[in-house]
Amino acid sequence: MASVPNPIDVHVGRRLRLRRTLLGMSQEKLGKAVRLTFQQIQKYERGVNRIGSSRLYQLSQILDVPVSFFFDDMPPLETADAPGLREGAPAPFEPDPMAKRETLELVRAYYRISDPAARKRLFQLTKAIANVSKKSGGTG
């Protein structure tokens, strides 16, 4: 029976992937920097393998983020959701929109806009479109 990854490990892995891809770094390059294979980086990013504290610190240094970055935006975990403390199957883990390739490409393109005023106008336009879509019942 395959074990289910811990939601915290999955979240940390997604944050690792987010930062790595925002920097345009391949799994292979990151793996070489920490003396691991790209397959090990893949396992970290999927939450299959847990990242130890010293490795997490090393990754934070390479990716130029504080260690806390990996825990940002983590949904609160309730005691009732802890394995062994409640009956029934665990709730499904919702996919993170920040992990989608489309999102990452959009963020990269946004930050390639060199004119700060144009970037701000695009940001405001995007928010306005999202608000109109939400008010009209669109699926955003």
- Residue 59 vs residues 32, 36, 42: alpha-carbon distances, Å: 12, 12, 14
Share of the chain above pLDDT 90, in %: 45
Please say whether the beta carbons of 4 and 90 come within 8 A: yes
> What residues have CB less than 8 Å from 96, skipping those under 6 apart?
11, 14
Q: 57 vs 101, which has greater pLDDT?
A: 57
Mean pLDDT to the nearest integer, 76-89: 56
Q: CATH number of the domain at 1-89, out of 2.40.50.140, 3.10.580.10, 1.10.260.40, 1.10.3720.10?
A: 1.10.260.40
Query: Could you read off the pLDDT of 90-115 as tens digits, one per residue?
Result: 556 566 676 677 887 888 888 889 99
Instruction: Give the residue extent of every domain in the chain.
Output: 1-89, 100-140
Using DSSP, state whether 30 is helix, strand or coil: helix
Alpha carbons 127 and 91: distance in angstroms, whole number: 31
